[in-house]
């Protein structure tokens, strides 16, 4: 797709592949390419699930500090909007999305994993938000998504200290969902989302919307939003097929319509 972000599809699973050696530093060009590939992933009806992967060596070791070091307030106030928009585009992919983490996922790299639904990490992976050590804070969603994922106290520990955590600690605090040998990370991520390929795409999209959007609502508003999405699915062919298959005791043939 782009110079540093590739888009590959195999058996209904799309892979967003970061490829900016040596450690996939997330400069402005990479951010723009992530945004564009996320748009393609959202729009392609042949894709039922997505893997975000940095390759065998590293997921992404954060932003390109050399690019940012001389930037002032006015320019950064504009740039950070584009940065957040790129990661939001990943978070809003209306399909199951998993990050396959090898090596380092630090700073913006960690924030990119937080925009995914699940995280599979290598046994030797390192994750963290070290921005405080260079005098700033996470700016691509880290203060918000991390706190929602692991709780505010643990998020403050990681963000205030800037320390990295190994895969075992990341699993213990809920920062990652599975830990496997490094050689098995990508394959495990693919197998995690494979069951959703050929599934009821509209229902999966609605479920993701209900959970992610509902987290920003109070309970009554979230329940009302859920009810709207639930009722809307009764206008889909997949709902008719799913219930007919259940009653006939056969496997459903979903079409995503």
Q: Residue 138 is encoded by which pair of tokens?
A: 């996470």
On the question of pLDDT at 33 being above 90, the answer is yes
On the question of pLDDT at 163 being above 70, the answer is yes
Which residues does the annotation mark as catalytic? 111, 131
The pLDDT tens digits of the residues spanning 34-67 come to 999 999 999 999 999 999 999 999 999 887 788 8
On the question of pLDDT at 79 being above 80, the answer is yes
Q: Is residue 192 within a helix (H) or strand (E), and if so which, with residue range? A: helix 185-193
Q: Residue 199 is encoded by which pair of tokens?
A: 């599934």
**How high is the pLDDT of residue 1?**
65
What is the rounded CA–CA span in Å between residue 244 and residue 102? 43
Task: For tokens 């203060």, name the residue.
Answer: 143
Q: Tell me the average pLDDT of the chain.
A: 95
Of 226, 228, 236, whose CA–CA distance to 199 is shortest? 236
**How high is the pLDDT of residue 70?**
82
> ∠ CA 11-17-23 to the nearest 5 degrees?
155
The pLDDT tens digits of the residues spanning 131-153 come to 999 999 999 999 999 999 999 99
What is the rounded CA–CA span in Å between residue 118 and residue 58? 17
Residue range 117-124: average pLDDT? 98
On the question of pLDDT at 247 being above 90, the answer is yes
Of 241, 232, 186, 179, whose CA–CA distance to 205 is shortest? 232
Helix ranges restricted to H, 46-72: 65-68
Of 161, 57, 156, whose CA–CA distance to 105 is shortest? 57
What domains sit in the chain, N to C, each tagged with a CATH number?
5-196 (3.90.226.10), 201-248 (1.10.12.10)
């Amino acid at each position: 797709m782009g110079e540093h972000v590739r888009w590959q599809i195999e058996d209904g699973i799309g892979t967003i592949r970061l490829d900016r050696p040596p450690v996939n530093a997330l400069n402005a060009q990479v951010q723009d390419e992530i945004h564009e590939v996320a748009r393609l992933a959202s729009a392609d009806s042949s894709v039922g699930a997505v893997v975000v992967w940095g390759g065998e060596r590293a997921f992404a070791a954060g932003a390109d500090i050399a690019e940012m070091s001389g930037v002032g307030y006015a320019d950064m106030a504009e740039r950070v909007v584009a940065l957040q928009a790129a990661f939001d585009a990943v978070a809003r992919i209306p399909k199951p999305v998993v990050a396959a983490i090898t090596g380092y996922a630090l700073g913006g790299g960690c924030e990119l994993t937080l925009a995914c639904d699940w995280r599979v990490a290598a046994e030797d992976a390192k994750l963290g938000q070290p921005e405080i050590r260079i005098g700033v804070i996470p700016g691509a969603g880290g203060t918000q998504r991390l706190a929602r994922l692991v709780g505010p106290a643990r998020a403050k520990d990681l963000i205030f200290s800037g320390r990295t955590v190994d895969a075992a600690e990341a699993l213990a605090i809920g920062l990652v969902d599975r830990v496997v040998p490094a050689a098995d990370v990508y394959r495990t991520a693919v197998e995690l989302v494979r069951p959703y390929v050929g599934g009821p795409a509209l229902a999966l999209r609605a479920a993701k919307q209900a959970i992610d959007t509902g987290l920003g609502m109070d309970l009554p508003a979230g329940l009302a939003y859920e009810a709207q999405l639930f009722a809307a699915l009764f206008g889909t062919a997949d709902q008719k097929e799913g219930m007919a298959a259940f009653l006939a005791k056969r496997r459903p043939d979903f079409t995503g319509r």
